């Protein structure tokens, strides 16, 4: 049901509460019961209005999709990112076609944005799996809003990381900003590289291992996760066939600072990219030094670097958060989400499938 439906019910319930409050009703216990009932109903409807928790959209492909979770553990050298002693456990959610017999499938590895979760773009994951792709999406403990671990515990976002990200928004200290970004990226790169190596070495602990085509590995991510994907796409072009980035800067391509601008490498990016933008940045990339490389690739107008603008969407609106809570998403996106969530997410699905079909067929 739409937020408008819940809002209408909420208004009606609040009106009933006040009518009951000022109306003489006997016996008094009956009035109290009616007030309590309408108050509880108002609280429930308020939650439903703010958080309708709409599920991911139904995929259009022919394959039945299986969803599962595994946990990979590796030693980490990054202080504060451990989950158990010196080790780090990565919860990984998998969307895969049910029918995997005698066939290898392309695999897309996804890294969510700051404070995101593994399910952040489930509408896209379901669609890809229904079209015979395998999708694995990582939780990044201490970076995820929450990460459910194998022992039943939950690790919430690290407060220091949360504060650093919030303080970096609009910051003018370029040196401090890139230093923080590189620190944030380090754990993403460690996690992603470990998963990629596990797939290539066939130590990925899941039944889909034999069904993965190691010659068709795609990296994807939103925001900080997209920056990590872009970094690995540059450093491992022999392994990665393409990168899909949902509005992310090329942090790894920054080589220095001159005045009040970042300096970016002039080496050609080695693999194809689909970069999807929202109204938050489209048309403003030239004005933000962090996104100079993004604008450079747009100006190239090359078929290898596809750039798509989702009109009527904010930055967070590029994820399924717009289904979970359209109201909260729009507040966080400063009112930029004017297009229905379903339309935005289906548009992203179409762009991703079109890009992959054109590229992976070559």
- Among candidate residues 56, 222, 205, the one with its CA nearest the CA of residue 137: 222
CATH number of the structural domain spanning residue 355: 3.40.50.1820
Class of residue 218 by CB neighbours under 10 A (exposed 0-12, middle 13-18, buried 19+): buried
Kindly state the average pLDDT of the residues 237-243: 97
Residue 44 and residue 69 in one domain: no
127 in the same domain as 82: yes
Alpha carbons 66 and 99: distance in angstroms, whole number: 9
- Looking at the predicted structure, is the pLDDT value of residue 267 above 80? yes
What's the pLDDT band for 6 if we cut at 50, 70, 90? low
**Of 130, 128, 297, 275, residue with least CA distance to 216:** 128
- pLDDT digits 0-9 by tens, 200-227: 998 887 888 889 999 999 999 999 999 9
Strand, helix or coil for residue 170? coil
Same domain, residue pair 16 and 138: no
Closest CA to 223 of 134, 159, 317: 317
**pLDDT value, residue 173:** 87
Distance CA 141, CA 158 (A): 8
Q: What is the pLDDT of residues 7-44, one digit of tens each?
A: 677 788 888 778 887 888 878 888 788 888 888 877 87
pLDDT classification of 51: cutoffs 50, 70, 90: confident
The 3-state DSSP class for residue 265 equals coil
| Residues 68, 167 within the same domain | yes
**Per residue in 166-198, pLDDT tens?**
888 766 889 999 999 999 999 999 999 999 999
Q: How confident is the model at residue 122 (pLDDT cuts 50, 70, 90)?
A: very high
Confidence class for position 2, pLDDT limits 50, 70, 90: low
Pair 117, 22 in one domain: no
Does residue 70 contact residue 90 with C-beta atoms inside 8 Å?
A: no
The residue-averaged pLDDT of 283-290 equals: 94
Are the C-beta atoms of 117 and 146 separated by less than 8 Å? yes
CA distance 343 to 340: 5
Shared domain check, 287 and 150: yes
Q: Give the C-alpha distances (Å, rounded to integers) separating 178 from 19, 173, 281.
A: 57, 9, 19
Number of domains in the chain: 2
Q: Which residue pairs, CB below 8 angstroms and at least 24 apart, start in 328-333?
A: 328/50, 328/51, 333/278, 333/280
| Cβ proximity of 269 and 301 under 8 Å | no
Of 154, 110, 112, whose CA–CA distance to 129 is shortest?
110
Average pLDDT over residues 138-159: 96
Distance separating alpha carbons of residues 136 and 121, to the nearest angstrom? 11
Residue 104 lies in domain: 55-360
Q: Are residues 104 and 202 in the same domain?
A: yes
What is the per-residue pLDDT across 81-109, written as a single tens digit (0 to 9) for each?
Answer: 999 988 999 999 999 999 877 789 999 99
Q: Are residues 189 and 72 in the same domain?
A: yes
Residues of the chain above pLDDT 70, percent: 97
In terms of domains, do 124 and 165 share one? yes
One domain, residues 121 and 245: yes
The reply to whether 162 and 83 lie within a common domain is: yes
- Regarding whether 232 and 111 lie in a shared domain, the answer is yes
């Amino acid at each position: 049901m739409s937020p408008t439906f819940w809002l209408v019910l909420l208004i009606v319930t609040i009106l009933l509460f006040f009518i009951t409050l000022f109306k003489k009703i006997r016996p008094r216990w009956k009035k109290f019961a009616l007030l309590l009932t309408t108050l509880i109903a108002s609280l429930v409807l308020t939650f439903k209005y703010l958080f309708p928790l709409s599920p991911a959209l139904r995929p259009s492909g022919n394959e039945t999709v299986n969803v599962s979770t595994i946990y990979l553990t590796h030693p980490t050298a990054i202080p504060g990112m451990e989950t158990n002693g010196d080790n780090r456990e990565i919860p990984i959610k998998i969307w895969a076609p049910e029918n995997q017999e005698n066939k290898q499938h392309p695999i897309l590895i996804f890294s969510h944005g700051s404070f995101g979760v593994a399910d952040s773009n489930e509408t896209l994951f379901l669609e890809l799996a229904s079209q015979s792709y395998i999708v694995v999406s990582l939780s990044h403990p201490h970076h995820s809003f929450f990460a459910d671990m194998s022992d039943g515990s939950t690790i919430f976002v690290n407060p220091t990381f949360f504060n650093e990200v919030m303080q970096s928004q609009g910051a003018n200290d370029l040196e401090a900003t890139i230093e923080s970004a590189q620190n944030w990226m380090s754990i993403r790169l460690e996690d992603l590289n470990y998963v990629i190596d596990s797939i290539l070495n066939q130590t990925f602990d899941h039944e889909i291992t034999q069904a993965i085509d190691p010659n068709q590995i795609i990296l994807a991510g939103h925001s900080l996760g997209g920056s990590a994907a872009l970094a690995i796409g540059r450093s491992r072009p022999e392994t990665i066939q393409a990168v899909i980035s949902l509005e992310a800067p090329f942090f790894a391509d920054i080589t220095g600072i001159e005045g009040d601008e970042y300096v970016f490498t002039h080496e050609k990016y080695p693999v194809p990219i689909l970069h999807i933008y929202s109204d938050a940045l489209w048309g403003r990339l030239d004005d933000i030094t962090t996104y100079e490389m993004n604008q450079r690739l747009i100006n190239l107008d090359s078929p290898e670097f596809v750039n798509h603008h989702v009109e009527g969407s904010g930055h967070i609106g590029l994820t399924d958060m717009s289904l979970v809570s359209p109201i909260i998403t729009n507040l966080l996106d400063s009112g930029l989400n004017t297009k229905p969530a379903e339309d935005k997410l289906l548009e992203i699905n179409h762009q991703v499938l079109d890009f992959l079909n054109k590229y992976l067929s070559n």
